[in-house]
Structures are given as C-alpha cells and as structure tokens.
Amino acid sequence: MNRILIAVAALALACWSLVDSGWAADKAVKLPPPTQDLHGMAGTETAVFAGGCFWGVQAVFQHTRGVLNAVSGYAGGDKSSAHYEQVGSGRTGHAESVQVTYDPGQVSFGTLLQVYFSVAHDPTTLNRQGPDAGPQYRSAVFYRDAEQKRVTESYIAQLNAAKVFPARIVTEVRPLTGFYPAEAYHQDYATLHPGSPYIA
C-alpha cells in the first residue's frame, strides 16, 4: 500500500496541471474540422492518443459525446516494460496514452482528432507537456490501420498549412503494436479527484 501511495504522490508531482504550465483554456485553439475523415463504420472502434500525462487526456475523452470508454495506459513499447515505474524512466519507448473506444455513428475519428489537437494537449512541444518532460510525455497518435494513418497525417498537414498553431505540429504518427492499461490507481483519476490541482 505504501508503494502505491508513493507512486501516486510521485505521479501527482509529474502530472502538473496544464493550466499551471501556461497551456490554459485561453490558449486553446479553435480548429477547423478535418477535410478527410472516416465514415460509415458500424459497431465500435478504438483509437489511441498520447499527449502528456494521461490523467488529463483521459478526462477530455471521457467527456466527449460518442466516446464509450477511455482507458489510461501505455503504448509504443513492449508489454514487459508497461509499468509506471519503468515508463517514468523515459527509456521504454512507451508514451502515457489513452485508448478511446467510440461509436462512429455518434463521433467520427476525425472529430476525435479535432478534440485531441485542440483541447487535450499542446501538439507543438517535443517530448514534453508543460513541466512534464521526457519521451513518455510525447505527442503521438498510434494508428490501428491505414485509414487512421491517412486521416491523421492529412489533418496534421491541414493544420500546419493553415498555421493555426504558432509552431509546427510535432505529433508522431506511429503504428499501434500494443496498448497496455495502466495500473488501477491511474484510471478515472480526474473523476475520482475533481479537486486535484494537477489536472486541467
């Protein structure tokens, strides 16, 4: 139990509020919708996004209409190293990520990208979000198939061409080789700790 409390305290220090770091709501950017998107799918789909501390990213997608579930976890590395203490070293290849399960009849993949780039994080900072630094906090979209890759790359090109951000987008677009849910104490953190000063 003490180990879990120490880990939570360490994570709280690492996951500083984006508000405190200057990426406040007044700096959020109003983005155009993607010119390319995925439509006409039935059932449920999943997408995996990384953008700094997963607590805030999970909270954003949990409040997005059409999202059925959002899970904090790790993507980009091996299953054997998908543990918070190891990921925190920045040497595992993992990024703190969120797997989003959604109903494409209610929300499209392109709309999820629009949310991700506009309010979930700052996509123009390399390997950091606010004071959280290291490759585990990088901006990345882990695509599940060629269509997700196509729409993501197209939207990044569209946003860069429109110069909606003061700098170029540095978001990685990489194939998803595996998603590994984070430890239980990371799940639904913003919901369970609404007064936490570490989450925007």
Tokens of 130: 């606010």
SS3 string, 128-188, reads EECCEECHHHCEEEEECCHHHHHHHHHHHHHHHHHCCCCCCCCCEEEECCCEEECCHHHCC
Phi, psi of 119 (to 5 degrees): -130, -15
Q: Can 15 be counted among the known catalytic residues?
A: no
CA distance 83 to 106: 33
Given the residues 53, 70, 100, 200, the one annotated as active site = 53
Say which amino acid occupies 170: V
Phi, psi of 185 (to 5 degrees): -70, -10
Buried b (16+ CB within 10 A) or exposed e, 161-176: eeeeeeeebebeebeb
Q: Which residues are catalytic?
A: 53
